[in-house]
């Protein structure tokens, strides 16, 4: 029975290493391997599932604690930066320059509005944050989702968790940035719509 299971797995998964083709599974090994195959096959720290790629991370309590410290530090830095950016700029004018892309082409670059979006989100102005730059909320939602998911798995699995992140999340972020970049500038040039308000006078 389990040799048949092995043959089925090997036949449908050509990336299975050669020694699996020569080994007949015990009941426990077969179940564990079947569970592994339902997740995917390890290839350079990523898993291929029905031709989709997943990033794999092994998280323990120590790493989870470090993640918590990093997230809290980023939150604190974002709050301080958005609330004291004017003082920082006035004290260090050489460290801050206007966007070269915006000054050259009179269009917003893919990252323009990110700081405003962070500031709006910290003050719970969700809609404003979306209009400034939707990537900020997208990243926050993804981070919160996986942070909670890891915490739940750590509790269920006694301090060890294997997390699989679909690379579609990364591609989704890239597509979102590119789409927002195109749509925002088209609305600016042809519709006179400028939520940030820095380039509208040039195109009117």
Question: Which pLDDT value is given to residue 33?
Answer: 43
pTM of the model: 0.71
Question: Which pLDDT value is given to residue 111?
Answer: 93
Query: Which residues contact residue 102 at a Cβ distance below 8 angstroms, ignoring those fewer than 6 apart?
Result: 108, 109, 112, 198, 199
Q: Residue 59: enclosing H or E segment and its boundaries?
A: strand 52-60
For the chain, domain boundaries: 2-58, 59-98+114-181
Kindly report the average pLDDT of the chain as a whole number: 78
Q: How far apart are CA 66 and CA 25, in angstroms?
A: 39
Q: How far apart are CA 43 and CA 157, in angstroms?
A: 24
Spacing of C-alpha 98 from chain mean position? 27
Q: Residue 119: enclosing H or E segment and its boundaries?
A: helix 114-122
156-194 per-position pLDDT tens digit: 988 888 888 889 999 999 999 999 999 999 999 999 899
- Other CB atoms within 10 A of residue 199 CB: 18
């Amino acid at each position: 029975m389990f040799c048949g299971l092995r043959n089925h797995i090997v036949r449908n998964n050509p990336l299975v290493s050669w020694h699996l083709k020569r080994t007949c599974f015990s009941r426990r090994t077969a179940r564990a391997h079947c569970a592994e195959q339902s997740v995917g096959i390890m290839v350079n720290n990523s898993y291929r599932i029905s031709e989709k790629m997943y990033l794999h991370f092994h998280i323990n309590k120590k790493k989870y604690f470090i993640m918590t410290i990093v997230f809290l530090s980023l939150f604190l830095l974002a709050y301080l930066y958005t609330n004291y950016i004017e003082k920082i700029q006035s004290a260090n004018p050489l460290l801050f320059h206007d966007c070269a892309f915006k000054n050259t082409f009179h269009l917003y670059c893919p990252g323009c509005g990110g700081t405003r979006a962070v500031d709006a989100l910290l003050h719970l102005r969700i809609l404003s944050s979306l209009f400034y730059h939707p990537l900020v909320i997208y990243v926050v939602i993804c981070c919160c989702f996986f942070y909670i998911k890891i915490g739940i798995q750590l509790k269920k699995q006694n301090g060890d968790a294997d997390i699989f992140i679909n690379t579609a999340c990364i591609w989704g972020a890239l597509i979102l940035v590119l789409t927002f970049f195109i749509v925002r500038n088209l609305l600016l040039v042809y519709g006179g719509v400028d939520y940030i308000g820095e380039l509208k006078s040039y195109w009117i």
